[in-house]
Amino acid sequence: MRLPVPVPVLRRGLALLLLAAAAPPSPAAEAVETFTGIARLADGSVYYVERHRVEWRGERPVTSFTRYSDAAGQSFGEMDSRFPAPTPAPYTPAYRFEDRRLGRSDQLQIHGDRAETRAIAGDGSPEKSGNYALAPDLVSGQGLHFLLRARLAAFVNDPGFELHVRLLIPLDAAIYPLRVRRLALDDGRLTLRIDIDHWLYRLFAPHMDIAYDVRSRRLLWYEGPTHILDALRAVRTVRIDYRYGSEAAAAGAIPDHHAAAGSTTSIAIGR
């Protein structure tokens, strides 16, 4: 059965929010955290590798950069996010995502209290663009993960707590209601389930689960569809396990000047 066009777009967009970022346990006044995510398919084979570098100022992320490589180690894409402050929407960063294999790019720019988006699917379809008012409940790009990290205590202390936000997906040039709820809390590990409050999404797309270590607030793993499409532009389901510290360093680090080392990012933040 052929799925309606918005469905795969939603799946890729929501997965992007979760797969592109994780957070350090207790950032100092200014800190840099590097870590690695290994994405595997159901048969256990490596689908791709994510290498992350996050700069913090206190509890606030300042920049977050992710480089994507295939199983052979060949880099094929980047995501570069900047979190301006102050802003009406602290979890809607300016960002650019690029997948050079498919010619795909998503971009969000912040101008005062507005967010402007541009998205090129790379499949010959027209470019999509949008202009949206920033608000405290609006999230996009890597912002969702950082919001979840900031609210972990609420999920831990109240089993019935739910987080409701609005998800901006540039590739679809649309905003969708998003719900996050607690699924389990075992041995200091918190598992959350994420759904979009949209009947079409619930009908066709699987749920997404993520797990955190409560004490360190680190993202441990993710299971669900990924925004990294295969050669046929099909959505794949993956499990991503995250490595920190020496384990991440062994998998390869991102240099400090990451923007000059293969990234073609151009991000605008203006008033």
The distance from CA 264 to its chain's CA centroid, rounded to whole angstroms, is: 19
Rounded to 10 degrees, what is the CA torsion of 257, 259, 260, 264?
170
Rounded Cα distance, 24 and 32, in Å? 8
pLDDT at position 3 is 32
Rounded Cα distance, 262 and 51, in Å? 13
Mean pLDDT by 10 residues, the chain (271 residues): 42 55 53 95 97 93 97 97 89 96 96 95 93 96 92 97 94 89 97 83 74 95 90 90 79 46 41 35
The residue extents of the domains of the chain are: 6-270
pLDDT at position 14 is 56
